[in-house]
Amino acid sequence: MALKRELKRNYALYLMLLPAIILVLVYSYGPMAGLAIAFEKFTPSKGIFGSEWVGWKNFEYVIGLPETIHILWNTVYIALMKIVAGLIFPILIAILLNELKIKWFKRSIQTVIYMPYFLSWIIVGGILYDMLGREGIVNTFLSYFNVSNIFFFGNDTLFPYLLVTTDLWKTFGYATIIYLAAIVSINPTIYEAAIVDGASRWRQTLHVTLPGMAPIIVLLATLSIGNVLNAGFEQVLVLTNNNTNTLVLNSGEIIDTFVYRLGIANAQYGLATAVGLFKSCVSFFFVSLSYFLAYKLINYRIF
Amino acid sequence: MDVGHSTGRKLFLIANNVFLFLVALSCLLPFIHIMAVSFSSPAASTAGEVKLWPVEFTWKAYEYVIDKKEYLQSLAVSFKRVVLGTTINMLLTVLTAYPLSKTLRAFPMRTVFAWFFVFTILFGGGLIPWYIVIKYTGLMNSLWALVLPGAVQVYSIIILLNFFRQLPKELEESAFLDGAGHMNVLLRIYIPLSGPALATLLLFSIVDHWNAWFDGLILMNTPANYPLQSYMQTIVVNMSSLFLNTTNSEMLKEINDRTVKAAQILIGALPVLLAYPFLQRHFIKGIVLGSVKE
């Protein structure tokens, strides 16, 4: 009857939680249950319970496809490059920004660099298509130096790097703010002590600033581990013309677009869900690992 | 103190200023260039004459866009989505964060429920089951499909519950002694004290709803129900000309695909670009709140 007493005492709290619990049950846990489709020959009219159960067949089929391993490799390759670039470049920019002496100049630069973060990939994609197109300003500029016209969106070799660069361009300001906040919170007396000891600016950076940023660097680095299979679905979808630009699919097809192509474009629900289940499981492992490491290394807790 | 004023240091400072200035320019110039293209004549834009200033200035691309029925329709859908979606997001965030911010002593089930929500960050059903659940619950092709599946923002809830926990406990304790209920405490004490945090979460919710396009693209059956960014996706991604069926050669002297696309991109970015300078303090706070908690 302890339960009854608890319900009576805190009924308001349970009522407050109720709407969110229902919505999460339906739209987050519902799809988890729906992963059963991965083991079915799913027909929408028969539903999840009525469709034919085929066991591991969908997985066997996908593993047998020649492009599967290639797509997995593309995903990890692009994601890892993004993780590394997205970790190092913002640290550099934050340290350099901290060296700026003129307040308004520093502030203006900060304001400008994280603006692209808040625009959608549609907007950014539209701008990129215009600027990097055959008649775009980049090619116009290159022609001044007698560089022949580059078709950025038709170049298989270049495409992964185009993804990494443009993603870095769009997101580096975000991480820079976090690092800057960490630098600002370093106790100024440590710098004063270093100056008394005759440490140059460079030595101060090395022995005061970087160690002061270390917990945040460790945190963002560990949390980024969870993204090993996230190569940037929206970005790739936009920049491959909705997965139809066959010129770059060889290097630009990733797990998420593969699922999209199989499931949404071709209505192969079972196959697509099998691929999705694989991704969910691997991601679950890496995301959990990242939170566990963050907890062990710097005592980070989610709640 | 001489260390700070050596020639090497001076050279570094100059190089640093120039470098960061260039980095900032790289973030700014693309937008200025697109603006210049959108206000230029088709001939100038195709000839590659347009750099950072309009060539042969014209409003025509904007006139064409503003007159387009689909564009205005999608703009209306976007507004509805932002208003409805953000309201629901905020209501649920506040209502859910409050119970979860309680101590284990006050609310023994707190940890169980917290894990119930946090687990959805760690594991998910993925695209296809998500799509099918939305289909089964009958939301397809309605505004609710863009609003309900993402109504519970677990990250925002975590941010707010951590914020709630830092609030001084004396006020609520005395309120409870006076016989106030939880709803009263939430409305009269927690919410008034959480202004800055709520403003930031609100801003992020608005931006997220405004920017979302993928859900609209696959959950709406007719382009008439697309929000603006989904509609723009069809334009940005679509390589075929907007004017294939046009025999009006007069019109093609005034606008072309490129200038019209540029105009649409700019209008789509405009709300964020305009609000951004004024609200950037909140944007920063949101980023810092979300990543670094005490």
Spell out the residues 6+ positions from residue A111 whose beta carbon is closer than 8 angstroms to its own: B276, B277, B280
- Between A and B, how many CB-CB pairs are < 8 A? 281
Q: How many domains does chain A have?
A: 1
Contact list in A for residue B1 (CB cut-off 8 A) is 195
**Residue A23: inside a domain, yes or no?**
no
Cα–Cα dist B218/B230, whole Å: 9
More confident residue, A231 or B245: A231
pLDDT at B2 (0 to 100): 45
More confident residue, B1 or B159: B159
Minimal CA–CA distance to A236: which of A91, A116, A88, A82? A82
CB contact under 8 A, B265 and A174: no
**Contact yes or no for B74/B267 (Cβ under 8 A):** no
CB contact under 8 A, A130 and B262: yes
**Residue A288: inside a domain, yes or no?**
yes
B185-211 average pLDDT score: 93
CB contact under 8 A, B229 and A120: yes
Contact list in A for residue B33 (CB cut-off 8 A) is 130-131, 137
Which residues of chain A carry a pLDDT beneath 50? none
CB contact under 8 A, A279 and B272: no
**Residue A96: inside a domain, yes or no?**
yes
Residue A184 sits in a domain whose CATH number is 1.10.3720.10
Q: How far is A242 from chain B (nearest CA, A)?
A: 7
Q: Lowest mean pLDDT: which of A214-228, B74-88, B127-141, B265-279?
A: B265-279
Q: Which residue of B has its CA nearest to A239?
A: B237
Cα–Cα dist A116/A121, whole Å: 9
pLDDT at A167 (0 to 100): 97
Q: How far is A66 from chain B (nearest CA, A)?
A: 22
CB contact under 8 A, B284 and A177: yes
CB contact under 8 A, A13 and B98: yes
Q: How far is A147 from chain B (nearest CA, A)?
A: 15
Average pLDDT taken over every residue of chain B: 89
Collapsed DSSP state (helix, strand, coil) of residue B266? helix
Contact list in B for residue A62 (CB cut-off 8 A) is none
**Residue A8: inside a domain, yes or no?**
no
pLDDT tens-digit profile of B55-69?
999 989 999 888 888
Structure token digits, residue A160: 């992964």
Look up the CATH architecture of domain B66-294: Orthogonal Bundle (1.10)
* Whole-number Cα distances in Å, A66 to A32, A46, A71, A259: 28, 31, 9, 15
pLDDT at A126 (0 to 100): 95
pTM of the shown model: 0.92
* Whole-number Cα distances in Å, A180 to A57, A125, B130: 51, 28, 38
Q: Can you give the residue ranges of every domain in chain B?
A: 66-294
Whether residue B46 is predicted with pLDDT greater than 90 in this model: the reply is no
Q: Within 13 Å, how many C-alpha atoms sit on residue A194's CB side?
A: 19
CB contact under 8 A, A276 and B125: yes
Q: Please name the member of A26, A96, A123 whose beta carbon is closest to the beta carbon of B16.
A: A96
Is the minimum CB–CB distance between A259 and chain B shorter than 8 Å? Answer: yes
Minimal CA–CA distance to B156: which of B200, B110, B215? B200
Structure token digits, residue A129: 């298509």
* CB neighbourhood size of B184 (10 A): 15
Structure token digits, residue A126: 């539209």
CB contact under 8 A, A126 and B264: yes
Confidence of residue B240 (pLDDT cuts 50, 70, 90): low
Contact list in B for residue A120 (CB cut-off 8 A) is 210-213, 229, 268
CB contact under 8 A, B287 and A178: yes
Q: How far is A87 from chain B (nearest CA, A)?
A: 14
Range of A108's domain? 40-298
DSSP at B48: T
**Contact yes or no for B16/A205 (Cβ under 8 A):** no
Minimal CA–CA distance to A118: which of B259, B286, B238, B195? B286
Is the minimum CB–CB distance between A267 and chain B shorter than 8 Å? Answer: no
Whether residue B37 is predicted with pLDDT greater than 80 in this model: the reply is yes
Contact list in B for residue A261 (CB cut-off 8 A) is none
If DSSP states are collapsed to H, E and C, what string results for A167-208?
HHHHHHHHHHHHHHHHHHCCCHHHHHHHHHCCCCHHHHHHHH
* Whole-number Cα distances in Å, A283 to A24, A290, B234: 20, 10, 30
**Residue A286: inside a domain, yes or no?**
yes
Question: What's the CA dihedral at A76, A77, A81, A84 to 10 degrees?
Answer: 50
Cα–Cα dist A20/A37, whole Å: 26
Whether residue B292 is predicted with pLDDT greater than 60 in this model: the reply is no
**Contact yes or no for B162/B293 (Cβ under 8 A):** yes
Is the minimum CB–CB distance between A89 and chain B shorter than 8 Å? Answer: no
Collapsed DSSP state (helix, strand, coil) of residue B149? coil
